[in-house]
Amino acid sequence: MQESHVVTCFIENSGRILIVRRSDQVSTYQQRWSGISGYIEPQHNDLEQAWEELGEEVGLTGQDVLLVKQGEVLVIEDPDLDRRWFIHPFRFALEEAGKIRLDWENLEYKWVEPEEIKRYPTVPGLYTAWEKVK
């Protein structure tokens, strides 16, 4: 089973969480809902990668968001992809919800109550990752 380390960033605004629907151009879980996520590149640690993904996928910087919590790594196995995911979850606070600017990796976004995450077809382990940083 292949192992992959990824970050998943939850952005919170007024008690709601940002979820994004992945485009058909990403390598896995097309059309599924997720947090802001990406593979941890060899030159970055997990926090550096989280900041990188926030900038790339939604156009946010350290001036826009505040790191609230870094959670324990979550391990999720996906036999269909023959992959073991090591998910490094982060939670950030955003004051201005209108600052979100999507790139090609995601098609749309929604602000939802955390419990609503369960109602969406998500990437594996999304709600469990949220529980690590709530």
Kindly give the confidence (pLDDT) of every residue in the chain, 134 residues in length, as a single tens digit, with 9 standing for 90 and above. Answer: 999 999 999 999 999 999 999 999 999 999 999 999 999 999 999 999 999 999 999 999 999 999 999 999 999 999 999 999 999 999 999 999 989 999 999 999 999 999 999 999 999 999 999 999 99
pLDDT at 60: 97
Instruction: For the chain, list the domains and their CATH numbers.
Output: 2-133 (3.90.79.10)
CA angle 103, 106, 109 (to 5 degrees): 105
Six token digits for residue 75: 């391990």
Distance of CA 10 to the CA centre of its chain: 6
Other Cβ atoms closer than 10 A to 52: 16
Six token digits for residue 123: 């990437």
